[in-house]
């Protein structure tokens, strides 16, 4: 089977005929051939989208009418719920129980942005008695959407839904390591009645198809989720055509535990935060900072909990930690495990392939204790089931350690001292802080990072802002 592009309402191979193969993380066997888009394929997709923007109905429809189609897209996703979860599980190595949650969330993304676009408030200002100033909200043009391989379908829809809600035709470039689930989107969009040319899909390698999309002069907006280094390359490449960039990048998020916290709940959050989704989660709590008075006990309990995490076949409903996405990524994560040992951190749990899983990209849930901020395993994003535990002696030291990396995506604070929580919320350099809780969030809230973790915000009307321009009208009455 060859997965094709979808351009102007038709499934098409690459103009050059080029393809690449996709491997299954649980076995590392090639099982899928995918069309490899290049600049000419991207150009065809952008041309179709540009035509839909200039002449088509979609950008001109009232938000309420676009919302009707978005809700039909959600229905079409829900109708494929189990299939989507199965494809995602096979293609990414995510445990099937967690893949099901991702499929449901994808449908929710469309329903949510259907609601957002029908409830947007308008900005109108009266100047004196004789003038009104009001802000027009218009779709920005063709939106280029570039997405990563972790939870691919959910993250694709997190961009598709607001871009389409805002009236933008799109060109989606999914990650080359997880192209399978995006292959369902053409059927979903057709079933929902989206006009041809509004949704376009080009598969391919980042440095080819992705870079061509970024450099294209008819694409005024790029919404990108991926590694910080890729974000830097995209900014350089986009400079020539001066475009809006929304950047959701990497993280090395701290989970900070004070001695007054509910330790059982903090432990649950630490285990969930770094071992669910195979640890391949941008907001993973990959550094655990623990007050010195409870450090020994907490580390021991965390290691014991890690040892209980069931690693196994992604399709097995009993599995809690599946296979990492790709042999190259597996080599990178296991290199970090070796490095941690060399750097002098104490391996308290995991660190190796479970003996019952001789093939595929499997790694036991891994805990490093006594990690110091000068170690690379403390500083660099590992993006796998590996957590670093570090003690702190005071609130000031906890803040210094939390802020001691280049990243600033998420932070998690466990304390029952309300005044301390307020102080630390001000002091921690992060885009998002959870206090005594984990990743539960309302989709209206801003999502994004500071420092090397990102630029701009998505979520609710913040996403709509990415895909719209807002000219101001000064009207004399």
Q: Among candidates 223, 251, 302, 265, which has minimal Cα distance to 440?
A: 265
Smallest separation, CB 473 to ligand NAD (Å): 34
Region of 37-45, 66-74, 207-215, 354-362 interacting with ligand NAD (CB under 6 A): 207-215
Site for ligand NAD in 269-288 (CB under 6 A): 282
Site for ligand NAD in 22-51 (CB under 6 A): none
Smallest separation, CB 260 to ligand NAD (Å): 31
For ligand NAD, which is the closer residue by CB, 24 or 381?
381
Active site residue 248: yes
Q: Is 167 one of the binding residues for ligand NAD (CB under 6 A)?
A: no
Q: Is 20 one of the binding residues for ligand NAD (CB under 6 A)?
A: no
Site for ligand NAD in 446-465 (CB under 6 A): 449, 454
For ligand NAD, which is the closer residue by CB, 353 or 441?
441
| Near ligand NAD by CB under 6 A: residue from 381, 390, 401, 464 | 381
For ligand NAD, which is the closer residue by CB, 175 or 180?
175
| Near ligand NAD by CB under 6 A: residue from 42, 211, 375, 464 | 211
Q: Which two tokens stand for residue 431?
A: 């885009």
Smallest separation, CB 453 to ligand NAD (Å): 6
Interface characters, 290-329, with ligand NAD (x: CB under 6 A): ----------------------------------------
Smallest separation, CB 40 to ligand NAD (Å): 16
Q: Is 91 one of the binding residues for ligand NAD (CB under 6 A)?
A: no
Q: Is 207 one of the binding residues for ligand NAD (CB under 6 A)?
A: yes
**Is the Cα torsion angle 166, 169, 171, 177 positive or negative in sign?**
positive
User: Could you count the other beta carbons within 10 Å of the beta carbon of residue 408?
Assistant: 24
Q: Is 248 one of the binding residues for ligand NAD (CB under 6 A)?
A: yes
Q: Which among 88, 208, 248, 280 is annotated as catalytic?
A: 248
| Near ligand NAD by CB under 6 A: residue from 164, 192, 234, 424 | 234
Smallest separation, CB 158 to ligand NAD (Å): 8
| Near ligand NAD by CB under 6 A: residue from 36, 86, 170, 214 | 214
Q: Is 254 one of the binding residues for ligand NAD (CB under 6 A)?
A: no
Region of 3-11, 28-36, 145-153, 432-440 interacting with ligand NAD (CB under 6 A): 145-153
Q: Among candidates 473, 475, 268, 292, which has minimal Cα distance to 398?
A: 292
| Near ligand NAD by CB under 6 A: residue from 176, 181, 182, 330 | 176
Q: Which residues are catalytic?
A: 248
Binding site for ligand NAD (CB under 6 A): 146-150, 155, 173, 175-176, 206-207, 210-211, 214, 225-227, 230, 233-234, 248-251, 282, 381, 383, 409, 449, 454
């Amino acid at each position: 089977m060859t997965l094709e592009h979808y351009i102007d309402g038709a499934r098409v191979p690459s103009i050059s005929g080029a393809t690449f193969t996709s491997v299954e993380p649980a076995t590392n066997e090639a099982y899928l051939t995918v069309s490899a888009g290049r600049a000419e394929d991207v150009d065809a997709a952008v041309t179709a989208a540009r035509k839909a923007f200039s002449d088509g109905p979609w950008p001109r429809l009232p938000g309420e009418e676009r919302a009707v189609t978005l809700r039909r897209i959600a229905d079409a996703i829900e109708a494929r719920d189990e299939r989507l979860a199965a494809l995602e599980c096979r293609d990414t190595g995510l445990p099937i129980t967690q893949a099901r949650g991702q499929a449901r969330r994808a449908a929710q993304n469309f329903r949510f942005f259907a609601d957002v676009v029908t409830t947007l408030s308008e900005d109108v200002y009266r100047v004196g008695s004789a003038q009104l100033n009001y802000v027009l909200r218009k779709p920005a043009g063709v939106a280029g959407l570039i997405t990563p391989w972790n939870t691919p379908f959910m993250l694709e829809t997190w961009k598709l839904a607001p871009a389409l809600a805002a009236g933008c035709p799109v060109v989606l470039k999914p990650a080359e390591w997880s192209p399978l689930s995006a292959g369902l989107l053409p059927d979903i969009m057709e079933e929902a009645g989206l006009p041809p040319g509004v949704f376009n899909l080009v598969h391919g390698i980042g440095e080819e198809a992705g870079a061509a999309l970024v450099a294209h002069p008819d694409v005024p907006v790029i919404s990108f989720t991926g590694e910080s280094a890729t974000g830097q390359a995209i900014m350089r490449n986009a400079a020539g055509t001066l475009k809006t960039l929304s950047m959701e990048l990497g993280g090395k998020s701290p989970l900070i535990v004070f001695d007054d916290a509910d330790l059982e709940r903090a432990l649950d959050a630490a285990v969930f935060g770094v071992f669910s989704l195979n640890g391949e989660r941008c907001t993973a709590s990959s550094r655990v900072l623990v007050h010195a008075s409870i450090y020994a006990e907490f580390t021991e309990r965390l290691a014991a909990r890690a040892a209980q995490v069931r690693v196994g076949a992604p399709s097995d409903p009993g599995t809690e930690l599946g296979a990492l996405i790709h042999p190259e990524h597996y080599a990178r994560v296991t290199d970090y495990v070796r490095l941690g040992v060399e750097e002098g951190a104490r391996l308290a749990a995991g660190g190796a392939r479970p003996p019952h899983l001789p093939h595929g990209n499997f790694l036991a849930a891994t805990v490093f204790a006594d990690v110091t901020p000068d170690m690379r395993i403390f500083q660099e994003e590992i993006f796998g089931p590996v957590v670093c535990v570090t003690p702190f002696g005071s609130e000031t030291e906890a803040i210094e350690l939390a802020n001691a990396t280049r990243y600033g995506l998420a932070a998690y604070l466990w304390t029952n001292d309300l005044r301390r929580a307020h102080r630390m919320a001000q002091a921690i350099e992060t885009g998002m802080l959870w206090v005594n809780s984990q990743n539960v969030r309302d989709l209206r809230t801003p999502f994004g990072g500071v420092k090397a973790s990102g630029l701009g915000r998505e979520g609710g009307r913040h996403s709509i802002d990415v895909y719209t321009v807002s000219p101001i009208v000064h009207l004399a009455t």
